[in-house]
């Protein structure tokens, strides 16, 4: 299992993460199979540097957009002003929502992806046009 993003999408997520500092940013990753087609930036309702949450109506909106474009929500993105490892809260929500969780570290300028599959495991991040 892996997640594939275009270089421009990596740039878009990097920019979103930087512009949200000092807080975490978040987005839904819409696509097909492992390939991200569209990024939907979301508001971090927590306005926090150590957590994020997305209002239920925004979540519903994201799923509506995905459906109207015949795409699926294949991943959830958020940034960490820290190491790109899932927090305990992340792990809890990963278990409830077993899509790919993509994390960007603004301190280490690094993307890492994880999925919950009986335990949290890392998946490859592929950057291809
Ligand atoms: Zn996190």
Yes or no: say if 36 and 3 are a contact pair by the CB < 8 Å rule: yes
Separation of CA 118 and ligand 1 centre (Å): 19
110 pLDDT band, cuts 50/70/90, is: very high
The 10 Å Cβ neighbour count of residue 25 is 24
**Rounded CA separation 47/40 (Å):** 18
| Class for the domain spanning 2-127 | alpha beta
Decide if 24 is catalytic.
yes
Q: How far is the CA of 42 from the centre of ligand 1 (A)?
A: 15
In percent, the amount of the chain with pLDDT more than 90 equals 98
* 7-49 confidence digits (pLDDT tens): 999 999 999 999 999 999 999 999 999 999 999 999 999 999 9
Which helix (H) or strand (E) segment holds residue 16: the answer is helix 7-20
| The pTM of the whole model exceeds 0.85 | yes
Contact (Cβ atoms closer than 8 angstroms) between residue 91 and residue 120: yes
Q: What separation in Å is there between the alpha carbon of 63 and the centre of ligand 1?
A: 21
Selected catalytic residue, list 2, 11, 24, 108 = 24
Average pLDDT over residues 75-95: 95
Q: Rounded to the nearest whole angstrom, what is the distance from the C-alpha of residue 49 to the centroid of ligand 1?
A: 9
Instruction: Determine the pLDDT at residue 1.
Output: 83
């Amino acid at each position: 299992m892996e997640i594939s993003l275009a270089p421009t999408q990596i740039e878009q997520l990097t920019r979103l993460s930087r512009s949200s500092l000092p807080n975490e940013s978040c987005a839904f990753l819409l696509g097909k199979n492992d390939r991200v087609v569209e990024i939907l930036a979301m508001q971090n309702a927590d306005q926090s540097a150590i957590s994020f949450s997305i209002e239920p109506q925004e979540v519903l909106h994201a799923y509506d957009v995905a459906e109207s474009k015949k795409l699926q929500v294949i991943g959830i993105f958020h940034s960490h002003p820290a190491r790109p490892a899932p927090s305990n809260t992340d792990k809890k929500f990963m278990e409830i929502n077993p899509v790919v969780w993509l994390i960007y570290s603004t301190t280490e300028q690094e993307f890492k992806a994880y999925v919950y599959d009986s335990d949290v495991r890392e998946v490859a991040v592929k950057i291809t046009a």
